[in-house]
């Protein structure tokens, strides 16, 4: 919920300053600063979520993965415990897809941030 509120407030600031650009061209820089703030906030949130989800919470996700296997197939929990290395390797493969998607989201936000900062310092906003 806090992510939505922060993003909404900063997006409103971007829009308001963008509209006020017709009054004074300096408002374009305020709009750009608000956009940079959105990017920094979301980059922080994505990195924090990535660290928590894929490094600290891996045992809980593995338990959920095992429960899904037991519920969706005819494999017993004893079979999973006997072949724990095999199933953990399969779990890591499914986790890679999620990691790649999260990393691509971080790269997208970082690219937008770099673009905004370079526009700010080159002054090619108008």
pLDDT tens readout for residues 27-63 = 988 999 999 999 999 999 999 998 887 777 788 888 8
Confidence grade of residue 81 (pLDDT, cut at 50, 70, 90): confident
**Is pLDDT above 80 for 64?**
yes
Q: What is the mean pLDDT of residues 84-109?
A: 91
d(Cα 11, Cα 7) in Å, to the nearest integer? 6
Indicate if the pLDDT at residue 26 is higher than 90: no
Q: What stretches of 1-126 show up as alpha helix (H) in DSSP?
A: 2-19, 27-51, 58-72, 77-82, 84-122
Res 126: pLDDT: 56
Q: How many CA atoms lie within 13 A of 107 on its CB side?
A: 6
In the predicted model, is pLDDT for residue 89 greater than 70? yes
d(CA 51, CA 12): 30
What's the rounded Cα separation, in Å, for the pair 97 and 91?
11
Exposure on the CB side of residue 98, measured as CA atoms within 13 A: 14
More confident residue, 125 or 67: 67
Contact 18, 28 (CB under 8 A): yes
DSSP type of residue 21: G
The model's pTM is: 0.78
């Amino acid at each position: 919920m806090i992510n939505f509120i922060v993003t909404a407030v900063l997006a409103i600031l971007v829009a308001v300053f963008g509209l006020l650009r017709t009054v004074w061209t300096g408002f374009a820089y305020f709009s750009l600063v608000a956009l940079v703030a959105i990017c920094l906030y979301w980059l922080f949130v994505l990195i924090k979520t990535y660290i928590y989800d894929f490094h600290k919470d891996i045992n809980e996700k593995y338990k959920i993965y095992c429960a899904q296997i037991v519920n969706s197939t005819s494999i017993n929990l004893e079979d999973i415990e006997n072949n724990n290395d095999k199933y953990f390797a399969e779990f890591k493969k499914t986790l890679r897809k999620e990691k790649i998607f999260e990393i691509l989201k971080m790269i997208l936000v970082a690219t937008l941030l770099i673009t905004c900062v370079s526009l700010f310092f080159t002054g090619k906003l108008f």
